[in-house]
Structure 1
């Protein structure tokens, strides 16, 4: 059961699912169950309300990368569920600087390069430090971590191999990829990450950071380079 919320001015996809990673209907439970939030980029009240409606608490908050439009709601989501347990806040180690002390300077520099520093200032809250730094091949909850640098140094995908589902962040969209002209971006590195994704099982459904779903099969059919 994968839930989708479109959040923020940049239309980021926030994904919510039970930590069991079942993609079918959940049985009714009286106590909140462990859940996963991927990329809480904005609109914290909507994310919090959806979690409560689903009777989930955010056991894992997993970030595909550190850009502000993917993490801005993180402090409020954590605060709303303080009594439920301590979430694991996970990001690839190469994007660690987007969280914790010094994060404001990192985000301001990044969005200033895109002409959007005011967006950071308008919605800024101090960001918590990650509780877990990820590396390629790690597992977190039901996911296997794929390091997919290029959009940012620490961009990552989260693969449910058995279910053939990939959360790709901004590395791969439907007929597109994330920009590489912001600090830490690298087009040649992103090309290698894209090659890696396009070599995956063609049956995998891709849940991207922006835009509609796609599949590895659909993207393999494109003339990328």
Structure 2
């Protein structure tokens, strides 16, 4: 895979799967825009990713659930690069776990706003810019979750949001495919990210026994699949949901 002269935009790029993806795309030659709501994490990612002579990376603060923030990010990208990215990775996500009968309306709304609405806003805003600039092709990769397929105790809001991301992906793929913008999603399983650190050890042990490979995944193992979907090697893959679960 080679992404020389390509521009990538990664939300949630400050940590976890987003950071791993930014590193991998940079390794393959892309200039990477690291977008995150945490500025310290953005700087840490920028320090950690490879930079060759013809690469120019950028960090931008974003709140994906707010349209004005997404538009402001696009403006910063256009000001620097004079064109929108053709690789877009929607990795920003949050959890607010609680059992259904105790889950607050605010926690339900926040998770849906970031995980689902945020993905929608980024797709819409950046796809419109890609079309306005008459770019020949692009690839959008969204991060859903295996629990969006099967459900999970204490995660009604998260599961609903990720199920929505998967179906949003399939609809966007149908609408944008004719314009040479491919849209696919990843369904990660239990991946060792900061988000997983909040899960109690007993729950982690339970999930490990349900994984055929008997271990949690690494963020880089998801990032490599994202890089494949961003590349021309996946040029006829559109509207797909790829499970990266170790055999969950």
TM-score, with structure 2 as normaliser? 0.35
TM-score by length of 1: 0.37
More helix by share: 2
Q: Which has the higher strand share?
A: 1
Whose RCO is larger (CA < 8 A, sep 6+)? 2
